[in-house]
Amino acid sequence: MNFYRTAAGIVDRLDTKNGSIKSCLTSVDETQRKRTAALVIETLKYRTSLLEVINATPLLTMEKKLLSPNLALVLVHDLLLAKGGIQAQDGPVKQGIFRHKTRLQGEWVKLKIKRGVTSDLGLAQPGDPRAENIPRYVRVNRNLCTMDEATKELEKSGYTRVELDAPLTGKVYAADRHISELLLFPSGTALQEDLLYKSGRLILQDKASCFSATVLAPPANATVIDATSAPGNKTSHLSALMGNSGRIFAFERDRRRFETLELMVAKAGCKNVEPVLVDFLQVNPQERKYGDVSHILLDPSCSGSGIVSRLDYLIEAEDNHDNAKDGRLQKLSAFQVSMIRHAMRFPSASKIVYSTCSVHAEEDEHVVRDALASAEARGMFKLAPRSMLLPDWPRRGIAKELGAAGADSLVRCSPGEDATNGFFVACFIRVGSSFDTHIEEMTVIEAPGLLPAKRRMQNADKQVKPLNFGEGEEHQGELTQKRKRSRAKKSKIVAETRDLEEWSGIDCQR
């Protein structure tokens, strides 16, 4: 019964918006994770129908041992839909479910008749149809093998290479036109048991997710920060692009996700990655070891609204109220702006890539606009030109949100239209750096109508200079009360949004 209680606890967390399906499942012991994931996902697929059936019976009112409605939910799922029924030893909870077995089965049949379906599958919640048009993308990990070596192994396994425009059906693959190390397979291709995948030579990663590291393009021997690294796909991509040289500080604030990050970079053969269990916003930009950081990748928590192939559509169908969505986006965007501003405080940072798997302008163009209007960016950073951001990629930013010039310097992916999940990429470069050579100066974009949190942060900027982490304790003790209050105000604003990493739980296939 402990297995079912664990699954019910996962559903409880999802009901309280305490993470995504994927992030909640990471808390389960690895030996039980696959089995628990299957039960949770299948239960959620049939949740609406199962609840209708349960509520048509006196199960919850009569059986006092069923303390959690979600425990009843997962048990009834297995009673009605699992081939082996409820896989638990006999006990008062299981006996309570079985006392209503005949009634539950009868209500299930009546529901199928009512909805005009003949199979159990007809009572499941449908997935996003756009996901079917997204190929299975696989990145060749050049830390461990070459493209030629990988394709030869695939062909030995029976795969045939086809042209990119050919239909992706059967045991075939094609090479991507934008990302040189990326291969495409038919949607739904299972490679998890393939030796190339198990050995870390192939990494399952959506095409759009590869854009972040590709745009950052750190050179060999560079010093790089990946601010929110777990589970490690983007980190390992950076490592490979750098030829496994230089140094990558891979930050992750959550311990369980940090453990996943460590496993990922080890499996991918990343010798230049230093995983660090810390919140990026708590990292001191003035600390000596970060003095040479030139490239920073920011892929912070977001709404995940662009990810159509993920599982969380199962928990969002009942949570589409505009007010709730608007409030959540405001908090997320305030947090995202704070991440960019903090990155801009690293003294040698010359190139900063910001990306999300969101399609909302509030998290994309608006965040870029507000970051450019911040004290850290004024006169110091500007948007990189289109020539530095996948110039051949046709879909750019939304002009009405940032102006034509600004929008052309952004990259967007539209789910259902670009054969990828939804994604957004922006690149900031330091004025006067080597990246700024021979680049025409762009007009600084003003940021009218800031969200309340950002407006408070800007007001704080008028009262106090950006925090100087290099100041000694003696000097800090001499700060005026006015500056202390202002700094505390800014810290409170950041704290209000920092917990959104766990709340949204979106990892965007990092």
Catalytically active residues are 357
* Cβ-defined contacts of 319-326 (< 8 Å, 24+): 319/17
Question: Hey, what are 237's tokens?
Answer: 């991509």
Rounded Cα distance between 389 and 409, Å, is 7
Q: Angle, nearest 10°, between helix axes 255-267 and 233-241?
A: 40
H-assigned helices in 299-402: 313-316, 322-343, 365-372, 399-402
Rounded Cα distance between 423 and 378, Å, is 26
344 contact partners, CB below 8 Å, separation of at least 6:
352, 371, 374, 376, 377, 380, 381, 428
Q: Residue 62: exposed, middle, or buried by beta-carbon count in 10 A (0-12, 13-18, 19+)?
A: exposed
Question: Hey, what are 177's tokens?
Answer: 């036109």
Question: Hey, what are 293's tokens?
Answer: 């950081």
Rounded Cα distance between 180 and 161, Å, is 15
Rounded Cα distance between 265 and 119, Å, is 44
E runs forming strands in 418-489: 423-430
Secondary structure (3-state) at 453: helix
Rounded Cα distance between 192 and 173, Å, is 16
Rounded Cα distance between 180 and 175, Å, is 8
Q: Amino acid identity of 137?
A: Y
Q: Residue 359: exposed, middle, or buried by beta-carbon count in 10 A (0-12, 13-18, 19+)?
A: buried
Tokens 């010039």 correspond to what residue? 405
Rounded Cα distance between 332 and 153, Å, is 43
Cβ 464 vs Cβ 486: under 8 Å: yes
